[in-house]
Structure 1
Amino acid sequence: MAHAADANAGGKKVLILYYSWSGNTRELAKQIQAQTGGDLVELETVTPYPTAYNQTVEQAKKELEANHLPPLKTRVDNLASYDVIFLGSPNWWYTLAGPVRTFLSQNNLAGKTVIPFMTHGGGGFANSLKDIKAFCPNATILEGLAILGTRAKNAQGDVARWLHTLGMAK
């Protein structure tokens, strides 16, 4: 992991890119956007996940077991213009949600600073940091933030402290 001094928000173009099924990761993304001034982009799949929790859990498990990457509706055409990418995902089966894995598999983030954030039900980052490093071997990965999904709406203080530590607050 790189140190916070390696990524100063001053003069850098910031993207907050995330996938959210239940809204928890979206909530964190909006808090990060409010405190950094970065551009906010939500990943959407061509075929939305089911609205029922258990069906989504099963679909996510099958996708992971089959190494299936769900096609994305979202495109980030100006990705090259960003220096820093906050990358958000729920923890699904101890790793990144399928839409985030799809994005990482289709985009080269070499030379970018990637800062992970995650919502979870108790598993923290699990394997997600290792997986991000595998998808982004030539990116600088900074310290991430993992928040319990049930705490996401009230995580402004945690987000502010984390961004301050990284030198990324506006």
Structure 2
Amino acid sequence: MLLARGEGMTLTKLAIFAALAVTFSAFCAGLAAPREAAAAGKALVVYFSMPETDKPDGMTREEDNSAVVIDGKVLGNTQYVAQLIAERTGADIFRIEPEKPYPTDHETLVGLARAEKDDGARPAIKGALPDLSAYDTVFVGYPNWWADMPMILYTFFDRADLSGKRVIPFVTHGGSGFSRTVETIAELEPGAKVERGVSVPRSDAQECGPEVTAWLREAGFAK
């Protein structure tokens, strides 16, 4: 079939516009890929938390510093942040618990934490670790004790192989932030991609939901 000159020129223009549209769409998809890749794969939240009471009423100052009360239930500061991350990302969650429970008396706990750090202790973890091979991203949360991770976290890193995974520490603290713990984790897990996560002061823990959500969204994880 023969086409009139004007009709042929119109079809040619349409073909050019279609090709440009496809190219532009591919370009935009390429720009979006890093954010989509950040959220790809299965995630796990691993955390250790040590609330110094399970009673929501009549807390001492130190008990209040270690915990938040959500819907009448006491949660450790790090426990609460861990649950927020899991809820907002759809990640699985695993709590590190010591085989021998830590004391809840503040002074006794502080002294024990100092002694464990000085001795380079490796407190035993209760039960088995989850199958970490199933996860591409592992969030790791802990309170800052004596400008370091609690020593039971060292037990975890001794046992866990996080090579090839994205490891994102998060911390709750009384003013020291991460200290040098992110660098320490990178040294303990040289095969992992270790990134600095969110740092939550204990004074802000109760109201940290928006901050945690904003951080996760910026990192490409929030649902």
When the two structures are superposed, what TM-score results if normalisation uses the length of structure 2? 0.71
Write the mapping of 1:76-115 to structure 2, written as runs, cut at 5 A.
Answer: 76-115=129-168
Instruction: Return 5+ residue gaps in structure 2 as ranges.
Output: 1-33, 52-75
Which one of 175, 186, 204 corresponds to residue 151 of structure 1? 204
Q: For residues 113 and 63 of structure 1, what CA distance do their matches in structure 2 show? A: 28
Q: Which residue of 2 aligns with 1:34?
A: 87
Corresponding position: 1:9 with 2:39: yes
**Contact 1:24-1:150 at 8 Å conserved across structures:** no
Corresponding position: 1:46 with 2:99: yes
Q: Give the total of aligned pairs.
A: 166
Change in CA separation of 1:52 and 1:6 when aligned onto 2, cut-off 3 Å:
farther
SS in 2 for 1:109: coil
Q: Show CA shifts across 1:76-134 (max 9, x none).
A: 23111111000000001111112211101111111010011000000000011111111
Q: Which has the higher helix share?
A: 2
Corresponding position: 1:164 with 2:194: no
Which one of 125, 133, 139 corresponds to residue 178 of structure 2? 125
Q: State the identity %.
A: 36
Ranked by relative contact order (alpha carbons within 8 Å, sequence separation 6 or more), the top structure is 1
**Contact 1:7-1:168 at 8 Å conserved across structures:** no
Q: For residues 125 and 186 of structure 2, what CA distance do their matches in structure 1 show? A: 21
Structure 1 position 153, deviation (Å):
2.1
Give the residue type in structure 2 aligned to 1:18: Y
Structure 1 position 6, deviation (Å):
9.4
Change in CA separation of 1:74 and 1:17 when aligned onto 2, cut-off 3 Å:
farther
When the two structures are superposed, what TM-score results if normalisation uses the length of structure 1? 0.93
Give the residue type in structure 2 aligned to 1:55: T
Q: Show CA shifts across 1:41-78 (max 9, x none).
A: 10000001101111111111111111001000042231
What is the Cα-based RMSD across aligned positions, in Å? 1.5
Runs of 4+ in 1 over 4 A off after TM superposition: 4-7
**Contact 1:42-1:74 at 8 Å conserved across structures:** no
Change in CA separation of 1:89 and 1:64 when aligned onto 2, cut-off 3 Å:
same
